Structure formats: C-alpha cells, structure tokens
Amino acid sequence: MEQANKLSRQAAEFEYEQRWKEAAKAHAKAAEAYRDVDIFAFDPVATLTLSSLSNRHMRWAESCRREDERCDNRGVAKVNHGANAPPHERDVEHQDENGTENAPGILHGRNEGNESEFEDFWQYMQSWLANPTAFTRPMITQNSQSTRNWEAEAAPSSHSIAESFYFVGLDPDQSASMHISAAATPKTHSPLQVLEKLDESEEAEAAAASTRQTMPISDNKIDKMASDNSEVALVAENQRLMQLVQHLNERVRTLESAAQENSMLKSSIFNFREEFHRHANAVSLPWAHETVPSPHRDKGTGVMPTSAAADVRVRQLEAELEKAHLENSRQKAHVTKYRERWERLKESAKRKRQQQEQLLHDYQHETTT
C-alpha cells in the first residue's frame, strides 16, 4: 500500500512537471501496485475502492501517453518552453489550446471528469450502509484501542455513520490532507462538513504552488504515522488471536479427556454387562444331577428297598435342598450387589454425558460469538 501511494505521488509530480512519459510509467506501476494489495480482501468497500484506484491510474496512464504523443507532434521546443514556464502560465496556455483543463495532471479537471463515478460510489455506500449485516465484525476485547476510543466519544450525530470510513480522493496528497484534517477536527463537526470546507478551500490550495514542494515531507510523516498505528493494531490483534488459540487448545484438551473418560466408562459398562450375563446364566442353569438310585435296586432279584434306605434318601434330598437354598440366597445377594453397581454406573454415565453436552454447547456458543 505504501509503495502504491509513493508511485501515485511520483506520477503526480511528473504530471506537474509535464514529464508525460515518466508519468505514464508511474501511473501504470501504481495501478499494478493497487491491484496487488490484498490486505483489505475481507472488506468489500476497500476492495471496490482499490479496484477503482487501479482503473483510474490506468486511464491516467493512457491519458499521459496521449499527451506525450501530442507534445511530440507539437515539437521539442514547445515542450521545453512548457516545462520551463511558470505553473500559472502553463495552465493558461493549456486552457487556451484545449478549452478545458482536461490534462490528467490537474486536480480540478479530474474532479469534474469523475463526478459521476463518485456519485455511483456514494449510492453504493448508502445501499451498503442500509444493510444491517454489513457491520458484523469479529469480537472486540475490552482492552482494544477501538473500544476505548468508542467509549470516549460523545453521542453520535446525524452524520456519525460517515466517521467510520476513509474517503479516497482523486489525488493521494489531497486524500492524506483530508484524512489528517478530519482526524484533527473536533467531534462537534461531522466529516461531511469537513469535506464541504475542504471543497471550498480546494481552489486556494491548488493555487499555492509553493505548498506542493513541501507535500512529500508531510506525506512521509503521514505514512510513518499510519504505519505506526497499523503496527500497534497488528500487535493487539496478534495478542488477541494468541489468547483465543490458547483458550481453544484448553477446550480441545478438555474435550479429549472427556472422550477418553467416556470410552473407559463404556468399556467398564460392557465388562459389567458380560459379567452380569455370565452370573445370570450360572444361576438359571440346573444344578449337577446326582445319580438317583432306582426304586428297584436289583432288577434281577426283584427285591424292594427297605424303609431304612428310603429314610437315608430323604435325608440326602433334604440336605441337597438346604444347600440349594443357601446357594440361591448367595446368588440373590450377588445379583443385588451388581444391580446396585449397575445403577451407580448409569448415574455416572448420565452425569458424564450431561457434562460433555454442556462443554460442547459452550464451545459452539463461543465459536459462533
């Protein structure tokens, strides 16, 4: 951006000296430099302004080439006379020959020739300002410079909406002086009033040729101040982005730990389910059957069992029944214990799921804001 402004000022100086060939080259280089600027790609208005500047410099370069060819046709002597003549005599001579100030090196002619372009740009700005979504921008912290400046300002006036923009004039030197004058003007005057005052004093500034010689020095100071302000803004933006990245890294680590805990909880639930099913199957399976003696112990002899043998068998069955009751009680105790553990695991899983959903909700809310 600084290189493009420098080339634009050099082209204006070449036009002022009527060095049309050097002015055409400088305008072409300035148009290429403005076309290569990409730091304002996020802003559609700035992109449109840079494109307009590039096209305008290309037209000025073509005008300078035509003027150079016209001067070559007139003769080298007349060109030298025009270069050595005072500025006001050159202007008078140029007006007498062409009828109007149509040379690209004169600011007044440029303002009259490009008034329709400014009207189109102004209509676009008004339609863009009417769109409420056009003012969405990244989150501003409390420590940023823009927030402190906004809090220090007074109540907005009827023209306060125009104070957010930098008006690009036809000449970079004039634009810089307009920007400095508007910045140094108290807040009681709107930028539109400042522009009206600058338009009224434009002819007086164009007539003072001596002030043009000191203009490059003031432009250097302006460029230095703009570069310092841009460096401070970039440092603040870098710090804010570093803090945001650190916060997001902490959130990512928290979510990773929550995901790891969730996977561990799932594995423990699966293990508990397998163990529970294994114990349930063990309880439902029949006990090991013992060989029950047949009522007819000796089929060959056909002798019936005695009452003593029947009593012994009854006592054995009662012992087995008591043993089965004890085993059933023990299995019931195990089932109750595992059921309580299962309920606790379900409660823990529910809490973990709620915490994870809350973390995800907070993360999405912060990323959207």
Task: Give residues with Cβ within 8 angstroms of 165, minimum separation 6.
Answer: 45, 125
The answer to whether residue 146 sits within a structural domain is: no
Whether the Cβ atoms of residue 343 and residue 280 lie closer than 8 Å to each other: no
Number of domains within the chain:
2
Which residue range forms the structural domain that includes residue 333?
241-287+309-368
**pTM exceeds cut of 0.85:** no
261 falls within a domain: yes
Q: Looking at the DSSP assignment, which residues form a beta bridge with residue 303?
A: 298
Residue type, 265: L
User: Three-state DSSP class for 195?
Assistant: helix
Digit-coded pLDDT (tens) for 188-224: 444 445 455 555 665 566 666 555 544 444 555 556 6
Let me know if residue 320 belongs to a domain.
yes
**Residue 296 domain flag:** no
Q: What is the pLDDT along the chain (369 residues), one digit of tens a residue?
A: 777 788 888 888 888 888 888 888 888 888 888 878 777 667 677 777 778 888 888 888 888 888 888 887 776 545 455 555 555 455 545 544 444 344 444 444 554 555 677 677 777 777 766 665 555 554 455 554 544 454 444 444 444 444 455 555 555 555 444 444 444 444 444 444 545 555 566 556 666 655 554 444 455 555 666 677 788 888 888 999 999 999 999 989 888 888 888 888 888 787 777 777 777 776 654 444 444 444 444 444 444 446 788 888 888 888 888 888 888 988 888 888 888 989 989 898 888 888 888 888 888 888 887
- Residue pLDDT, tens place only, 250-278: 989 888 888 888 888 888 787 777 777 77
DSSP 305: P
Is residue 209 assigned to a domain? no
Domain boundary among 123, 154, 171: 171
Last residue of a domain, one of 171, 196, 225: 171
Position 272 in a domain: yes
110: left (phi over 0), alpha (psi -120 to 50) or beta: alpha
Angle, vertex CA 361, rays to CA 357 and CA 367, nearest 5: 145
Within a domain: 179 = no
- The answer to the question of residue 294 being in a domain is no
Distance CA 73, CA 58 (A): 23
Q: Which two tokens stand for residue 266?
A: 């799932």
Q: Tally Cβ neighbours within 10 Å of residue 35.
A: 16
